[in-house]
Amino acid sequence: MRFNRGMRVGDPEEVAAYMERFRQGEKPDEVPDEGPESRLSKRIKAYCKKCHYPCLTFPQTKKLAPFLYPGWSDHTILQPDRKRILFIEDKTKGGRMSDDQKSFRAVVSFMGGNYHEVRSYKLFLEIMSND
């Protein structure tokens, strides 16, 4: 039996190390949501609408390409009550960031922004509730 990135339950040292990390407050690796990226995206937009957070979502089309920085995140969310702007990139279980997305993440991080790669709705909710 395996769980969390191939760790076998039968290996006592790995289990002990995992439990120690868990006891110290470190969360186990986030389990990605199943299904397409669009399902996660819809849930994120619905949450933002419910909480009255402006959520800008730009489809990466040829028409918009000249206006967007290459690799722009899937969602740009404004949280006025926390005075912050979040850049959220949705990814599926096996999805990988493109070089443009990695470059955009570096620019946002360099400027002190909040950029997050989200693979599950649970992780998104955790990010939204953190100060």
* 37-53 pLDDT tens trace: 888 999 999 999 999 99
Same domain, 60 and 93: yes
The CB density around residue 16, as the number of other CB atoms within 10 Å, is 10
Helix or strand run (H / E) with residue 113: none
Same domain, 8 and 48: no
Same domain, 84 and 38: yes
- Total of domains in the chain: 2
Q: Which domain holds residue 9?
A: 1-30
Name the token pair of 91.
């990814």
Same domain, 13 and 41: no
Q: 102 near 74, Cβ under 8 Å? A: no
Same domain, 69 and 85: yes
Cβ contacts of 49 within 8 Å, gap of 6 or more = 55
Please tell me the predicted confidence (pLDDT) of residue 2.
43
Residue 82, burial from CB neighbour count under 10 angstroms (0-12, 13-18, 19+)? middle
Name the token pair of 17.
């190390």
Per-residue pLDDT of the chain (131 residues; tens, 9 = 90+): 344 444 444 556 666 665 665 555 545 456 777 778 888 999 999 999 999 999 999 877 888 888 888 899 999 999 998 899 999 999 988 889 999 999 999 999 999 999 999 999 989 999 998 85
Please tell me the predicted confidence (pLDDT) of residue 19.
60
